[in-house]
Structure 1
Amino acid sequence: MQEVVRPLPLLGDLCCSPVLQAPLEAGDAQVLAGALKVLADPARLRLLSLIRSAEGGRATTGVLAEELGLTQPTITHHLGALFDAGFLERVRDGRQTWYSVNTDGVQTIRQLLDPAQ
């Protein structure tokens, strides 16, 4: 099995404090705005929810397509966007790819709005 993770920078790695605590630098705002754009899609939010609540906290494209009633290419597109933004991890097992939620990516969004996180 080959594990692939794309990290989203944690706010601790960025130069500034969360939005509600202090102004963000332009570059940090750009990175975080891109991440929020990825999340601003109902299908992607549902995918995160389905993956997180699946048995073992992971799911395959086929199962997710069936759950959402969307085609596998559409699901693959959404999963790719979530992965590229750092919200998902994926593990390839032969021809199957398993997706799980990258808790670091989710934590970044929590920290963005709530410095106590």
Structure 2
Amino acid sequence: MTTTLPDPANDQQAPCCTPVTAVASRPAGSRDLARKLKALSDPTRLQLLQLVAAHPGGRACVCDLTEPLGVTQPTVSHHMKLLAESGFVTREQQGKWAYYTIMPEALSDLGHHLDALSRPRG
């Protein structure tokens, strides 16, 4: 139902709301996007992602990530686990060290989702 407001110019009722004709994303898609955005909402995780991306080949050992942020290895591992679960990095165990590789397609996909919000549908 569209609500109307008086139009002082011609004393007729003008619609105040445009009906939505575009379909919103599915609930599962919205939950997935929210989970990814939540993973990136922490400053430490953003810095970790930047550090991994800055390493040669977009691959870094967990041992290379603790000192630049001044946090412990368990803290880095916790944050990296969340980034891996969100698809932003992959994890590979080599001996006692975990190596993380950036997933550029996940970041690109996130950018496409956000860009789609700014484009009018019709």
Band of TM-score, shorter chain = 0.7 to 0.9
The residue aligned with 2:4 is: none
Q: Deviations over 1:55-91 (max 9, x none)?
A: 2321111110011100111000000000011110122
- Compare 48-57 and 69-78 and name the one that shifted more: 48-57
> Which of structures 1 and 2 has the bigger CA Rg?
2
Q: Structure 2 length as normaliser, TM-score?
A: 0.72
Task: Give TM-score scaled by structure 1 length.
Answer: 0.74
Q: Amino acid of the residue matched to residue 101 of structure 1? A: I
Question: How far apart in 2 are the matches of 1:41 and 1:22?
Answer: 30
1:44-55, aligned counterparts within 5 Å?
44-55=45-56
Higher relative contact order, chain-length normalized (CA < 8 Å, sep 6+) = 1
- Please report the RMSD computed on the Cα atoms of aligned residues, expressed in angstroms: 1.5
Match of 1:27 in 2: 28
Displacement after TM superposition at 1:40 (Å)? 0.3
Number of equivalences: 95
AA matched with 1:54: H
| Identity level (%) | 36
Correspondence 1:79-98 to 2 at 5 A: 79-98=80-99
